[in-house]
């Protein structure tokens, strides 16, 4: 998958690679340090998250990434402080209407994951798209299967922001694995028509107002009756994905789910 180096030591190629790894050990994509990667780590001694991340994120950085597991909010995926009990609706989802069905994320937006996303987005290190995309892919298969989704759409950037950055990070996080798994991927169907203020500086209420009317459908016929998965890098208050979901539902999408790499959890 994704061209992660095959480090099987059984084949002549594997032996050469093992030699190369000893001479040029892999460097961590987050902290840049060289570290020893044990190919047996991919064999099953570690949890799925660590197996996926071990070839490119060192053990120390991995230990800073908090994977999100139950109990979480059934709808928005917020992890609850109490680690006991079943999944249930959170206070915010009871109070505020969500246009999406469920949102899930790989890990808490904190520590090494914040660093990785910042390097990827603002440091323009698009080579991180591969490892981070793998983590998004792993989350997808944890909560969905490919028969349950008809169309994957990355949250679009405004054309000016896209020109400035040179890439849409949400698109890079899902285009390859969507294609590889034969799931229709469409980065053009939804467009960001309004230039909004950066959401990071705003309160929750301001975010909702700021993002209202920001998205429109370019090809409404492509979403009609479809089960759609929206992909983004970070879920903060959910205003952005909720607004996208509203537009998609208005375009007669049958259901909209949300998948992000990280999930901001204020209280942690």
- Contact residues: Zn ion, CB under 5 A: 28, 30-31, 58, 61, 73, 75-76, 78, 90, 93
CB closer to Zn ion, 205 vs 218: 205
165, 171, 177, 180 alpha-carbon torsion, rounded to 10°: -100
CB closer to Zn ion, 65 vs 247: 65
3-state secondary structure of 249: helix
Residue 60 CB, nearest approach to Zn ion (Å): 5
Residue 162 CB, nearest approach to Zn ion (Å): 30
121, 125, 130, 133 alpha-carbon torsion, rounded to 10°: -10
Task: Name the region of 164 (left: φ>0; alpha: ψ -120 to 50; beta: rest).
Answer: alpha
CB closer to Zn ion, 2 vs 34: 34
CB closer to Zn ion, 6 vs 27: 27
3-state secondary structure of 5: coil
Residue 76 CB, nearest approach to Zn ion (Å): 3
Residue 24 CB, nearest approach to Zn ion (Å): 16
CB closer to Zn ion, 12 vs 91: 91
Residue 86 CB, nearest approach to Zn ion (Å): 14
User: What angle is formed at CA 23 by the lines to CA 8 and CA 124, rounded to 5 degrees?
Assistant: 85
Distance, in Å, from the CA atom of 93 to the CA atom of 242, rounded to the nearest integer, reads 12
């Amino acid at each position: 998958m994704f061209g992660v180096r095959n480090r099987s030591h059984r084949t002549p190629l594997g032996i050469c690679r093992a030699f190369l790894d000893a001479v040029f050990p892999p460097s961590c994509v987050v902290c840049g340090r060289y570290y020893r990667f044990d190919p047996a780590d991919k064999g099953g001694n570690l949890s799925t998250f660590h197996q996926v991340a071990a070839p490119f994120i060192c053990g120390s950085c991995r230990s800073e990434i908090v994977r999100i597991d139950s109990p979480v909010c059934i709808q928005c995926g917020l992890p609850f402080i109490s680690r006991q009990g079943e999944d249930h609706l959170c206070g915010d989802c009871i109070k505020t209407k969500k246009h999406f069905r469920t949102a899930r994320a790989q890990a808490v937006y904190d520590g090494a994951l914040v660093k990785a996303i910042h390097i990827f987005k603002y440091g323009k290190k698009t080579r991180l798209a591969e490892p981070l995309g793998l983590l998004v892919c792993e989350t997808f298969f944890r909560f969905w299967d490919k028969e349950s989704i008809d169309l994957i759409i990355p949250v679009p950037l405004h054309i000016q922001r896209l020109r400035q950055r040179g890439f849409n990070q949400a698109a890079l996080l899902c285009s390859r694995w969507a294609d590889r798994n034969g799931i229709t991927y469409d980065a053009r169907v939804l467009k960001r028509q309004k230039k909004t203020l950066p959401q990071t500086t705003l309160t929750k209420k301001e975010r909702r107002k700021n993002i209202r009317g920001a998205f429109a459908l370019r090809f409404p016929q492509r979403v009609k009756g479809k089960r759609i998965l929206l992909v983004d890098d970070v879920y903060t208050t959910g205003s952005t994905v909720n607004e996208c979901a509203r537009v998609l539902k208005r375009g007669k999408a049958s259901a909209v789910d949300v998948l992000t790499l990280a999930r901001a959890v204020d209280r942690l």
